[in-house]
Amino acid sequence: MKIKTAVFPVAGLGTRFLPATKAIPKEMLIVGDRPLIQHAVEEAKAAGIERFIFVTSQGKTAIEDHFDTNQLLERTLAERDKKKELEKVQSLQLAPGDAIFIRQQQPLGLGHAVWCVRNLVGNEPFALLLADDIIMGAAPCTAQMIDAYTKYGRGNYTAVMDVEPDHVSRYGILDIAEDDGFLVKARHVVEKPKPSESPSRTAIVGRYILDPMTFDKINIHKFGVSKEIQLTDAFRPMIDEGVPFYGVRFAGQRYDCGTKEGWLEANVVNAYHSDDMQEHLLKTLKTLRIKD
Ligand code: UTP
């Protein structure tokens, strides 16, 4: 079945990035010349996605505005003959009817945010993108995930990468049954295990292709790790009922822009790879001296 819908949960509080995220949504932080959420939407578009569902919350209207028209800005750019800028602004708009914004009233966790779109997605597989994870590389990560889904068939798929043993407690971790170097089949998934109890160091990052059965398996009455309704808790019952869970070792580099360190790294790498910023970046770095 073709994957036509992508879901972008953007209702989190972004507490690791305070105070920057007090009044500005985390997903509107900039990498390069565009906000995180635009990177994610562009990745989804490049993978052939046609419907974009955003799970937003109070104080996140900047996201909606970003993908809408801004008539004053566009008129002014046109009057001043700023064609390139006008094209940049217009090209990011989502076509009428292609974007849906719904609210998660309380930040109860990623599992709950996904559950909120159950009536909008319906009975078809869908992509899920967490915009605070930026994945850079030649092929868009979501396209790689859809390719894997097309090749291997029904199941739940997440992008995975191996992390440092002492970082496993930050991630959902796979208990691996089979691993051919690209596709990892999991027996189970454990959310944020202690390093001493972790079944592996193969960790989930923020790209998924999910089976619609997920909506029935998210238990909105069960608060898991970190007192949140965890998406990973929905996978175990599905695996037990025969829906396979796969990790895709994607090609590319992931940056966790929900943390200051990851966001900084993403900006430096982005500037290094951009024609108009590389020289300036290298010149700036050369002028820096490490203090004793
Ligand atoms: P995170 O846990 O990384 O985001 O969730 P957060 O909760 O905003 O960040 P911290 O931990 O407080 O710093 C991953 C994604 O899921 C969304 C977030 O907006 C983010 O894009 N999310 C999380 C929701 O939409 N709703 C929630 O209840 C929790």
Taking every pair of Cα atoms in the chain, the longest distance, rounded to a whole number of angstroms, is: 63
Residue ranges making up the domain that contains 282: 260-292
User: Which pTM was predicted?
Assistant: 0.95
Instruction: Note whether 18 and 140 are same-domain residues.
Output: yes
Instruction: Note whether 108 and 66 are same-domain residues.
Output: yes
Residue 189 pLDDT: 96
Instruction: Note whether 9 and 61 are same-domain residues.
Output: yes
What is the overall mean pLDDT for the chain? 95
Kindly give the number of the ligand 1 atom that is closest to the alpha carbon of 57. Answer: 25
> What number is the average pLDDT over the span 114-124?
96
Instruction: Note whether 162 and 200 are same-domain residues.
Output: yes
Residue from 36, 132, 218, 256 whose mutation best tests the ligand 1 pocket (most atoms within 8 A of CB) = 132
Instruction: Note whether 156 and 138 are same-domain residues.
Output: yes
pLDDT of 292 higher than 80? no
Residue 217 pLDDT: 96
Instruction: Note whether 160 and 245 are same-domain residues.
Output: yes
Distance (Å) of CA 162 to CA 122, 131, 172, 200, 278? 33, 20, 11, 9, 29
Which runs of consecutive H residues, i.e. helices, occur in the chain?
Answer: 36-46, 61-66, 71-79, 83-91, 110-115, 118-121, 141-152, 214-217, 235-240, 260-272, 278-286
Mean pLDDT check: name the lowest of 229-243, 258-272, 278-292: 278-292
pLDDT-based confidence at residue 164 (cuts at 50, 70, 90): very high
Instruction: Note whether 179 and 272 are same-domain residues.
Output: no
Instruction: Note whether 266 and 244 are same-domain residues.
Output: no
> What number is the average pLDDT over the span 95-108?
96
Residue from 8, 13, 58 whose mutation best tests the ligand 1 pocket (most atoms within 8 A of CB) = 13
181 contacts: CB under 8 Å, gap ≥ 6: 249
pLDDT of 291 higher than 80? no
- What is the total count of domains within the chain? 2
Residue 175 pLDDT: 97
**What is the C-alpha separation between 236 and 63, in angstroms, rounded?**
33
Instruction: Note whether 219 and 284 are same-domain residues.
Output: no
pLDDT of 199 higher than 70? yes
The alpha carbon of 117 and the centre of ligand 1 are apart by a number of angstroms equal to 16
pLDDT of 129 higher than 70? yes
Instruction: Note whether 285 and 206 are same-domain residues.
Output: no
pLDDT of 119 higher than 80? yes
Residue 38 pLDDT: 97
Instruction: Note whether 155 and 236 are same-domain residues.
Output: yes
pLDDT-based confidence at residue 289 (cuts at 50, 70, 90): confident
pLDDT-based confidence at residue 102 (cuts at 50, 70, 90): very high
pLDDT-based confidence at residue 222 (cuts at 50, 70, 90): confident
The protein residue with its alpha carbon nearest to ligand 1, atom 4, reads 12
Instruction: Note whether 211 and 158 are same-domain residues.
Output: yes
The CATH number assigned to the domain holding 205 equals 3.90.550.10
Kindly give the number of the ligand 1 atom that is closest to the alpha carbon of 228. Answer: 28
pLDDT-based confidence at residue 288 (cuts at 50, 70, 90): confident
**What is the C-alpha separation between 163 and 156, in angstroms, rounded?**
21
Pocket of ligand 1 (CB under 6 A): 9-16, 26, 55, 104, 107-110, 112-113, 130-132, 258
pLDDT, tens digit (0-9, with 9 covering 90-100), for 242-282: 999 999 999 999 999 999 999 999 999 999 999 999 999 99
